[in-house]
Amino acid sequence: MSPKGEEARPRASDIHREGSPVSASEGIAAYVDHAAPLVGLTLTPEQREGVIRNLAGTFAVARLVMEFPLPDEVDAAPVFEP
């Protein structure tokens, strides 16, 4: 629930969730519009469109990774060591 007087901010997890109340492109655009100033970015309209396109591609790849089935006997490494 948002504090009184503040509009709800979209979370990254809401953008690609099935059944989300907003379309994927609208959700990503809203996320970019809210997140950019939080990390100190000022985007031109051209940059904004590029960020939205790239983030949509990133979410598409992430969805494939997250949907990949892993057997129960596979343990994830607790720490990445190259």
| pLDDT tens, residue by residue, 22-76 | 467 789 999 999 999 999 999 999 999 999 999 999 999 999 999 988 888 888 7
Is the pLDDT at 9 greater than 60? The verdict is: no
Position 82 confidence tier, pLDDT thresholds 50, 70, 90: confident
**pTM confidence score:** 0.59
Number of neighbouring beta carbons within 10 Å of residue 14: 15
| CA separation for the pair 14, 25 (Å, rounded) | 12
d(C-alpha 52, C-alpha 44), whole Å: 12
Q: What is the pLDDT of residue 14?
A: 53
